[in-house]
């Protein structure tokens, strides 16, 4: 499967932003804590969500779509293992570990897969669960975990890892007593997980700050939750319009969650107006270089927006330096962008982008989720036709990239080859 893009058209119009992938994945794992029916309203339909559904069904849960809503009944859960073939399909399969342990007192799974953006260890996840009393044996890539009685404790994360914070929160809900997670990740997805857990009857406080406190041992129940809009999908469309030029309004996009990205786009010359309902961006399509962009945990510049911001700046006036601090292999889109005439040099964690006069359409390959989306954004500004191959990476996180961009006036289509 590939995408064909005829570049050179400005983007204009309104879009409603899909529900957030990185919120819904831990929430799907959290559903099993309730032993009841949970409804996720406006759940995005994505490859990674399908993988979570396959895991839930394997565990014995009943899962069904009801229009845009997903219903998960975990009262019928009978298993505590996840087969390797499901674990390998995405990184987020590992957040099921904390939830299964809290519900069943044991779990059997293997190391997770996910985008190839660098080494992605799970040592912090395992150490947090061990602190709560889990006994975890690692053997030949498989994890055999038992925790007949999890006990609340103080967990200090050496890095504010998003996934490890989520796993600790999920397991702590099933632990007796109080758990304090220090140096917790502060991402909006952590806040949404806290909100969902509390809707199920849990007691979690502090998400959004670096200390999260969970009072465990409560009896949980089903709930209905509306999934919040995806800040990275919003960032992708803002950067796509910034680079191609035009005027777009993204309904549901939250300016508070995107303040650093919006400030860079403004610095580059875009005009931005935000209100409680969404964000409007206007761009001439010819941006200016900006001060160095250094990725860092929230509320810093998000690593997930690095590639799409680079795409926006490929034809800018001047030179912009990127420093990728989260993952060591997150410039895999660069050689693909170079095929389109982009002027980028990389060394280790640094990429230097000198604005090119023109980009030319070329056949390129999506190497990971956000890098793939960035190639589409580059194709929208390029003269001629860009073919983006291996689009399954993009489908892991965007429910309708082609439809959304076509609605904004892009010439983009799917090709079976």
Give 188's contacts (C-beta < 8 A, 6+ positions apart). Answer: 20, 23, 208, 228, 231, 254, 257, 298
Which of 120, 286, 294, 360 lies at the binding interface for ligand EPZ (CB under 6 A)? 120
Helix (H, G, I), strand (E, B) or coil at 113: coil
Q: Which residues pair with 383 in a beta bridge?
A: 360
127 vs 247, beta carbon nearer ligand EPZ: 127
Q: Counting runs of H as helices and runs of E as strands, what totals does the chain give?
A: 14, 23
As measured in angstroms, the least distance from the Cβ of 398 to ligand EPZ is 10
Residue in the structure block whose two tokens are 């029916």: 37
Sheet holding 211-215, edge to edge: 154-156, 178-182, 211-215, 203-205
User: Does residue 125 bind ligand EPZ (CB under 6 A)?
Assistant: yes
The DSSP bridge partners found for residue 351 are 322, 346
Closest CA to 22 of 281, 238, 367, 305: 305
Q: What is the footprint of ligand EPZ within residues 182-241 (CB under 6 A)?
A: 185, 189
Nearer to ligand EPZ, 123 or 154 (CB): 123
Q: Does 397 bind ligand EPZ (CB under 6 A)?
A: yes
Stretch that binds ligand EPZ, among 6-14, 116-124, 279-287, 387-395 (CB under 6 A): 116-124
DSSP 152-194: --EEE-SS--HHHHHHHHHHHHTSBSEEEEET----HHHHHHH
At its nearest, how many Å lie between ligand EPZ and the CB of residue 96? Answer: 12
91 lies in the binding site for ligand EPZ (CB under 6 A): yes
In eight-state DSSP terms, residue 255 is: T
CB-nearer residue toward ligand EPZ: 120 or 294: 120
> Which phi and psi (to 5°) does residue 347 adopt?
-150, 115
162 binds ligand EPZ (CB under 6 A): yes
Please, which residue, 62 or 326, has the CB nearer to ligand EPZ?
Answer: 326
Verify binding: residue 170, ligand EPZ, rule CB under 6 A.
Answer: no
Distance separating alpha carbons of residues 177 and 157, to the nearest angstrom: 19
Q: Which is nearer to ligand EPZ, 163 or 245 (CB)?
A: 163
- Region from 119-127, 266-274, 338-346, 358-366 binding ligand EPZ, contact rule CB under 6 A: 119-127
Active-site annotation holds for 195: no
* Residue of 31, 61, 115, 173 with catalytic role: 115
Query: Counting contacts by CB under 6 A, is residue 22 touching ligand EPZ?
Result: yes
Place of tokens 């299964």: 100
Interatomic CA distance for residues 308 and 318, integer angstroms: 18
Q: Which is nearer to ligand EPZ, 32 or 362 (CB)?
A: 32
Single out the segment in contact with ligand EPZ by CB under 6 A; choices: 57-65, 80-88, 122-130, 400-408. Answer: 122-130
Are the C-beta atoms of 397 and 50 separated by less than 8 Å?
A: no
Among 13, 66, 75, 123, interactor with ligand EPZ by CB under 6 A: 123
Q: How far is the CB of 329 from ligand EPZ (least distance, A)?
A: 10
We find the least distance from the C-beta atom of residue 160 to ligand EPZ, in angstroms, to be 7
Token pair recorded at residue 56: 């839930």
| N residues, the chain | 417
Residue (369 or 412) nearer to ligand EPZ, CB: 369
- Which secondary-structure segment (H or E) carries 271? strand 271-274
Residue 350, SS3 per DSSP: strand
What is the set of active-site residues? Answer: 115
Residues of this chain that interact with ligand EPZ (CB under 6 A) are 22, 25, 91-92, 115, 120-125, 159, 161-164, 185, 189, 303-304, 326-327, 369-370, 397
């Amino acid at each position: 499967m590939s995408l064909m893009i005829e570049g050179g058209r400005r983007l204009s119009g309104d879009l409603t932003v899909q529900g957030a992938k990185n919120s819904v994945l831990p929430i799907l794992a959290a559903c099993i804590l309730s032993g009841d029916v949970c409804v996720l309203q406006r759940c995005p339909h994505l490859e990674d969500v399908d993988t979570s559904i396959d895991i839930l069904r394997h565990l014995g849960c009943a899962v069904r779509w009801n229009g845009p809503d997903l219903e998960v009944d975990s009262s019928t859960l009978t298993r505590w293992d996840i087969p390797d073939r499901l674990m390998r399909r995405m990184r987020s399969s590992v957040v099921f570990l904390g939830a299964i342990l809290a519900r069943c007192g044991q779990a059997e799974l293997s190391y997770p897969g996910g985008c190839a953006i660098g080494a992605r260890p799970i040592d912090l996840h395992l150490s947090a669960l061990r602190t709560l009393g889990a006994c975890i044996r690692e053997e030949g890539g498989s994890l055999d975990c038992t925790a007949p009685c999890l006990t609340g404790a103080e967990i200090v994360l050496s890095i504010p890892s998003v996934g490890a914070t989520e796993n600790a929160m999920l397991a702590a809900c099933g632990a007796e007593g109080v758990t304090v997670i220090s140096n917790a990740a502060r991402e909006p997805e952590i806040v949404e997980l806290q909100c969902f857990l509390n809707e199920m009857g849990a007691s979690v406080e502090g998400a959004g700050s670096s200390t999260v406190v969970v009072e465990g041992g409560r009896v949980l129940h089903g709930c209905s939750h509306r999934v919040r809009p995806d800040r990275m999908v919003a960032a992708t469309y803002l950067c796509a319009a910034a680079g191609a030029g035009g005027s777009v309004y993204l309904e549901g996009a939250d300016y508070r969650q995107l303040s650093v990205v919006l400030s860079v786009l403004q610095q580059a010359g875009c005009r931005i107006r935000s209100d409680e309902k969404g964000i409007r961006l206007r761009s001439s399509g010819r941006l200016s270089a900006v001060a160095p962009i250094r990725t860092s945990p929230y509320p810093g510049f998000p690593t997930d927006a690095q590639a799409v911001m680079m795409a926006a700046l490929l034809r800018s006036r001047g030179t912009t330096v990127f420093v990728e601090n989260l993952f060591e292999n997150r410039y895999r889109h660069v050689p693909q962008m170079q095929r389109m005439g982009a002027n980028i040099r990389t060394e280790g964690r640094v990429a230097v982008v000198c604005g090119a006069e023109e980009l030319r359409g070329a056949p390129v390959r999506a190497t990971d989720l956000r890098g793939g989306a960035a190639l589409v954004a580059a194709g929208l500004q390029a003269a001629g036709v860009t073919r983006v191959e291996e689009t399954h990476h993009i489908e892991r996180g965007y429910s309708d990239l082609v439809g959304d961009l076509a609605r904004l006036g892009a010439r983009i289509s799917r090709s079976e080859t």
